[in-house]
Amino acid sequence: MERSRTADPRTDAQLVSAVADQDREALRILYERHATWLALRLRRRCADPGMVAEVVQDTFVAVWKSAAKYRGDGEAAAWIWGIGIRRLVGHLRKRVPEPVPDGYGAVTTQQSAEDQVLLGVEHGELSGALNSLSPELRAVVQATVLDGLTTREAGRLLGIPAGTVKTRMMRARIELRGALA
Amino acid sequence: MNPWHADTALLDRYAHGSTDLASAASIEEHLLSCAECRERLANTADIDHVLPVGLIDAMWNEIADVVDRPHETLVERILHRVGVSESAARIVSATPALRLAWIGAVAIAAAFAVWAAYGSTHDPIVFLWFAPVVPLAGVATAFGPSIDPLHEVALAAPLPATRILALRTSAVGVTAGLILIPASLALPGFAAAWIMPALAVCALALALGTTMEAARAALVAGGLWVLAVPSWIWFSTAEPRRLAAQLALFGPTGQIFWVALTAIALSVVYLRREQFDFLAHQPGAAS
């Protein structure tokens, strides 16, 4: 992929509004700026590379179709991620649940208060506490707190019932509180 | 802009999935707002281990394919929504009898028939006589080299010819119904009595279509129908003859006859269904 395209002077937000006006070249530039990190980030949440590729494709087709819905408040990258993670959940729903990859250990979206607390502390007690959670609890924390998914979406992503997401989240809170006390 | 940037080693580890939850979360949050780190991540050394070589370009080709595809027509979108496959939807929507001009002509003709039934004679026989011709004309153009501009394409479609014929005739039937049923509601009494004869005549055309080209088959079936009504009136012995003919053709006995004819014709279609593929591939023999 040539670097020249990513050097386009337009910002992501400008590109998205150009895409809303059916500017195909703008979509191409957006794709080149965002496809790789999106694929990598999705890859950490889905063990099947074929499905990741499908989700990335779907995401940019959705960007093409619904660019007009982007209101321009906030990062275009966050908007794209929001589409991507929900597409992934949608794809997983069509399939028999598969075990979550070990790599499912990290991420994020909206700047919720919880996020900021989590992310403000990069090294220290919190990161130690997070990393010491069991893989099951960590996956739930990542899906709900960091990926900003609802309990139901998180359940679909992880292939567990929504009720289980809730109880695991509760247990994770208790553990974190204990570790940070 | 951003005072903090992820260092290359960290991005590397992130790309390979070997960061722990806390630092991966930091990186991901940072990537959302930092174009510079996004680009550096994309250029991370040996990213090929994680994303296959050429994947990014291959995915773009798929996206471009969808983006560049012509818009689906309204008919296609509706068919798609109800579960018809993409190729089948295209073939149905390209049915000659579903073009706006055709539908418009039929609507005008239907209005005329309603007017004729009301204005001059006050009995619906003119409309009942005319109505079955509408779906029949649609069936005539549903399949066959002489009328369908998409005939060659339809043959190349991954569907058996019978399936295409069935799809298109049902599409024609539905549109004809949409036009004619409201029209027949405007008429007194017998108004819906045309439906069974219409089905019978269409089924007859399809049955004949197993031995001759679709347009010709429809012409024969339609001709029989068009002649049947006036000649019945002509040869009726009871008085008044028009009413007697109406009762005979559209009354209870008549309806039973049409049901029987439909059943017979459809069984012929079913038994000889392979003929459609055969005829379709021999346009010379059919014309």
Q: Which residue has the higher pLDDT, A10 or B241?
A: A10
Q: Which residue has the higher pLDDT, A116 or B100?
A: B100
Whether the link from the prior residue into B240 is cis, omega within 30° of 0, is: yes
For range B79-87, the mean pLDDT: 71
If you ran DSSP here, which 8-state letter would residue B84 be given? -
Most confident of A9-13, A52-56, B77-81: A52-56
Alpha carbons A58 and A42: distance in angstroms, whole number? 13
pLDDT at A122: 47
Kindly report the average pLDDT of chain A as a whole number: 80
Name chain B contacts of A107, Cβ cutoff 8 Å: 24-25, 28
Name chain B contacts of A35, Cβ cutoff 8 Å: 56, 59-60
| pLDDT bucket at A75, cuts 50 / 70 / 90 | confident
| pLDDT bucket at B72, cuts 50 / 70 / 90 | low
Tell me the nearest-neighbour CA distance from B56 into chain A, angstroms: 7
Which of A145-149, A161-165, B98-102 comes out lowest in average pLDDT? B98-102
For the cut 50, the answer to whether the pLDDT of residue A116 exceeds it is no
pLDDT at A6: 52
Kindly report the average pLDDT of chain B as a whole number: 76
Task: Tell me if A106 and B35 make a contact (CB, 8 A cut-off).
Answer: no
Query: Could you say which residues from 68 to 127 on chain B have a Cβ atom under 8 Å away from some Cβ of chain A?
Result: 68
Task: Tell me if B62 and A107 make a contact (CB, 8 A cut-off).
Answer: no
For range A10-37, the mean pLDDT: 91
For the cut 50, the answer to whether the pLDDT of residue A111 exceeds it is no
Q: Which residue has the higher pLDDT, B157 or A105?
A: B157
Q: Which residue has the higher pLDDT, A62 or B230?
A: A62
For range B249-278, the mean pLDDT: 83
Tell me the nearest-neighbour CA distance from A40 into chain B, angstroms: 6
Task: Tell me if B31 and A37 make a contact (CB, 8 A cut-off).
Answer: yes
Which of A75-84, A87-96, A114-123, B190-199 comes out lowest in average pLDDT? A114-123
- Angle formed by the axes of helices A24-43 and A49-66, nearest 10°: 140
For range A80-84, the mean pLDDT: 93
pLDDT at B142: 64
Residue A61's closest CA among A90, A41, A40? Answer: A90
Query: What single string gives the DSSP state of each residue in B149-191?
Result: TTHHHHHHSSS-HHHHHHHHHHHHHHHHHHHHHHHHHTS-TTG
For the cut 60, the answer to whether the pLDDT of residue B234 exceeds it is yes
| pLDDT bucket at B9, cuts 50 / 70 / 90 | confident
Q: Does B51 touch chain A (CB under 8 A)?
A: yes
Which of A45-49, B13-17, B169-173, B221-225 comes out lowest in average pLDDT? B169-173
Q: Let me know if B128 is exposed, middle or buried by CB neighbors in 10 A (0-12, 13-18, 19+).
A: buried
Give residue-wise pLDDT tens across range A2-11. 445 557 788 8
| pLDDT bucket at A108, cuts 50 / 70 / 90 | very low
For range A129-150, the mean pLDDT: 87
Task: Tell me if A40 and B39 make a contact (CB, 8 A cut-off).
Answer: no
Task: Tell me if B23 and A146 make a contact (CB, 8 A cut-off).
Answer: no
φ/ψ of A97, rounded to 5, equals -55, 140
For the cut 70, the answer to whether the pLDDT of residue B282 exceeds it is no
For range B204-225, the mean pLDDT: 83
pLDDT at B158: 62
For range A46-53, the mean pLDDT: 88
For the cut 70, the answer to whether the pLDDT of residue B1 exceeds it is no
Alpha carbons B107 and B179: distance in angstroms, whole number? 6
For the cut 70, the answer to whether the pLDDT of residue B154 exceeds it is no
Using the CB atoms, write b or e for B235-263: b if 16+ within 10 Å: ebeeeeeeebbbeebbeeebbeebeebbe
For range A20-24, the mean pLDDT: 90
For the cut 50, the answer to whether the pLDDT of residue B148 exceeds it is yes
Residue B98's closest CA among B172, B180, B157, B41? Answer: B172
Q: What is the 3-state secondary structure (H, E, C) of chain A?
A: CCHHHHCCCCCHHHHHHHHHCCCHHHHHHHHHHHHHHHHHHHHCCCCCHHHHHHHHHHHHHHHHHHHHHCCCCCCHHHHHHHHHHHHHHHHHHHCCCCCCCCCCCCCCCCCCHHHHHHHHCCCCHHHHHHHCCCHHHHHHHHHHHHCCCCHHHHHHHHCCCHHHHHHHHHHHHHHHHHHHC
For the cut 70, the answer to whether the pLDDT of residue A13 exceeds it is yes
| pLDDT bucket at B97, cuts 50 / 70 / 90 | low
Give residue-wise pLDDT tens across range B11-51. 888 888 888 888 888 889 899 988 889 988 988 766 777 78
For range B63-68, the mean pLDDT: 87
Of all residues in chain A, what percent carry a pLDDT higher than 90? 38
pLDDT at A110: 42
Residue B193: which H helix or E strand, with range?
none
Alpha carbons B212 and B207: distance in angstroms, whole number? 9
Using the CB atoms, write b or e for B156-186: b if 16+ within 10 Å: ebebebbebbbbbbebbbebbeebbeebbee
| pLDDT bucket at B285, cuts 50 / 70 / 90 | very low
